[in-house]
Structure 1
Amino acid sequence: MQKQDPQSKAALLERAPAYAQTVDLDVDVHLIDWEISERAKRYAGCCEYNHLTEQITITLAWAAYQEYGWAEFTGTIRHELVHAWEFQHFGDSTHGTRFLQKAREIDAPRYCRPFTEARLQLVCTNEDCGWHLDRHRASKSVTNPDDGYRCGRCKHRYEVQHVDSGACWRTNDEYERVRQWLGKDW
């Protein structure tokens, strides 16, 4: 009999490590701490390693799970397990060749599809470039775009756009005015 998909954060926290134990990967799942994030908007999962204690923590995004469902979300779990495997065996982890090879072996995706719409976007002001980058939070590159930040492709200046309203800014002063103007619609 097939288990019902987790319907709560607690159920997901129980099911994810149990699923991880079934993945054919030389990783000690019992040594991994598991957490749920209700705030994550950019990542479906995250694997962190404390070099001092050698503790590994896998954090899973609740919003991603709700968007993907269990069948797709197991790919996220496998992806984070590859990071845990690298940490346990090599003390570091990237998305390099070693990661990609192991991910292919266990059918783990390299990237997860977006599960939330970006609230903000950095857009290059060079008409010939076309570069843009989604943002979900008001980071320094959003609030202070004139503080030495540049386009990721051509190094030209960019502007920040609030996606829902279309409001744009290039300086911190303009950001503050737009933020005040949008009020609760920020």
Structure 2
Amino acid sequence: MNFRRFASLVFLGAIATLSSGCATSPARPVEADGTYCHRVGKTYRQTLTCTALPVPSAAVEADAKRFEATPEAGMLYIVRRRWGDMANRVPVFVDDQPAVLTIPYSVVRVRLRPGNHQVVIEWEAKRHVTYVNARAGEVLFVEVEGSVWAWGSTYSWAEPDAEGARRRALRSKLIADVNLGP
């Protein structure tokens, strides 16, 4: 009886170990110039969508993915991770500040002063606006929902899903860390 129990535990441990490797794809390295490229395809003909600016360091990314706010500011995470969105750099504006060009499977952390804020996507002459009310010590999520097809691309704001957005942000690359707070 002890042998069966031992064998069962070894078998379950092996299954857990093997399946955990399939749960997330390995992080791609940052390019030599500090930018990060999302790659589509696994052959020599990969399509690259790269950030316009260097990305934050691995230490900043680890800090951001703890999803902690500071007592004097709110933290907004802009997440872009959808199955039908694989190709474009989409500009996102917070309070009419300069745009952050998001790429597929990316996340942006924005430190906000308490109050109302406007977050805007501009794509193909269309403007999609969402409003967030940041409170000190609060963590907020918004998600860019995109679809890319042969006949065109669309981008808008997804329905709020904080827990899902948090999970998707954990598996995405931090591409910008913006401070608009106190």
TM beyond 0.5 = no
TM-score range normalised by the length of the shorter chain: under 0.3
Name the TM-score, length of structure 2 as normaliser: 0.24
Higher relative contact order (CA 8 A, sep 6+): 2
Name the TM-score, length of structure 1 as normaliser: 0.23
Higher strand proportion = 2
